[in-house]
Amino acid sequence: MGSRSENNSPNHEKENSNKTGDENRGVLRKRKTTLQRRNSAPNLKNLPQTPTTNSTSNRTSRPSYVIPKKEQIRNRKLSGPRPKTTRAASPINYKVKEYLARADEKIEDYLERIVQNVDSAQFMVQSGVQKLRDWKATHFEKLPAFLRDNNYLHFGHRPELGNIAACFRSIFRIHTETANIWTHLIGFIAFVIIPIVFYVKPFCDNCHEDIKIPDKLIFLTFFIGAILCLACSTLFHTVSCHSKHISTIFSRLDYAGIALLIVGSTIPWLYYGFYCQFYTKLTYIVAISVLGILTLLLLTMEKFDEPEYRTFRTIVFVALGLVSALPIIHFVFMNGVSESIRQGSLVKLVTMGGLYLTGAFLYAARIPERWLPGKCDIWFQSHQLFHILVVAAAFVHYHGISEMAMRRLKDLGPQCPTLSVTLDSTNIV
Ligand SMILES: [Zn+2]
């Protein structure tokens, strides 16, 4: 109430009248400036002028358009995104936009697939690693009876896995059989490649004629023996921890492979050593083949599969090897030592025999783990050394029989003149 009486005083009325006057003047000023703006003509001086030589164009009242120069267009492109202009989409533009939309969808699909594939690959790797770790290395004392082969190897044994896939995955883990598997697996791969090269390329690069087909085919007995021996051995050492039944089957195959290698190695040597003595050659080849089959049958008997027959098995193999060496003695008597060294690759034969016998001795005596129990669990155990020596002996033998074949081709020739003369004279008589 008090404030209203103060506002109604004559002084206040004067002040109010002054205020309203000022406000009215402000409003009028604003209206005036707005009208001035509306009525004012555009300042043509400030507009950009088009450079032209025609003087009449300046005089016309038509609006002039500025055509941008190349430099200006380039600068505008670089300066940033263009202002959006609304243009009516042509059919081509529409198709392009549709195509780009489809391309975007496809790219998204591909990216999704790539991500999914990466995820599934990651999952597979993780599950593979998990599967590889699904068993722990075991102490000798905890092994089942059929896996207790060498008591000098204390730790690092595979337990009974009971699964073929797990056995094969164990190839990539470190245990007592790792080196046994890999030594013969690498040898097997080598002896698969060597025959391919042997039969594809000419036997002698510098000779005018190639080796005769039967002379080349006889090498097959050696290649087949080596491949089967190394394959059976690799398989046995891989799956021996599956179960007693599987271990028994593959251990017999392993022995069979060794017998095949001995017989297969001997046949090409007999073929070239008694090249022109047909009946002697045939007798020896048949004899060694029969002995090989007998050894094979003997060693595949269930009784001889037990660990206590280890020495017996070794003796059988050594006996087969020595019987195979009997024709060599015959050959030396026939040709003399120096000629036997030259013709029969005697040095290679002796080296091969030495490697086999050393391997067999280490295998039977369990050296060096006998002297270092528990120290050769993973590396340098007798069986690994035996494997390495077997592969080395096979390579030496291949070199030896190749030398004999080369000598027959280059020096002696594939014909047997002495034999033909004898046969002719016999016929005449
Ligand atoms: Zn073995």
Half-sphere exposure in the Cβ direction for 282 (13 Å, CA)? 4
CB proximity list for 261: less than 8 A, separation 6 or greater: 225, 226, 228, 229, 390, 394
Residue-level pLDDT at 53: 42
Backbone angles phi, psi at 157, to 5 degrees: -80, 150
Tell how far the Cα of 359 is from the centroid of ligand 1, in angstroms: 11
Tell how far the Cα of 325 is from the centroid of ligand 1, in angstroms: 23
pTM higher than 0.85, yes or no?
no
Cβ atoms 399, 265 nearer than 8 A: no
Q: Which residues does the chain have with pLDDT short of 50? A: 1-21, 35, 38-60, 419-429
Residue-level pLDDT at 316: 83
What pLDDT digit, counting tens, does each position of 119-165 carry?
Answer: 888 888 777 676 666 789 999 999 999 899 899 999 999 999 999 99
Domains and CATH numbers, the chain: 140-421 (1.20.1070)
Tell how far the Cα of 180 is from the centroid of ligand 1, in angstroms: 6
Question: Dihedral sign, CA of 129, 132, 138, 140?
Answer: negative
Residue-level pLDDT at 259: 87
Tell how far the Cα of 198 is from the centroid of ligand 1, in angstroms: 27
What pLDDT digit, counting tens, does each position of 218-242 carry?
Answer: 999 999 999 999 999 999 999 999 9
Alpha carbon distance 271, 262 (integer Å): 15
Tell how far the Cα of 387 is from the centroid of ligand 1, in angstroms: 6
Tell how far the Cα of 402 is from the centroid of ligand 1, in angstroms: 27
Tell how far the Cα of 130 is from the centroid of ligand 1, in angstroms: 29
CA distances (Å), 161 to each of 44, 174, 252, in order? Answer: 98, 15, 20
Tell how far the Cα of 128 is from the centroid of ligand 1, in angstroms: 28
Token pair 């082969």 is at which residue?
A: 149
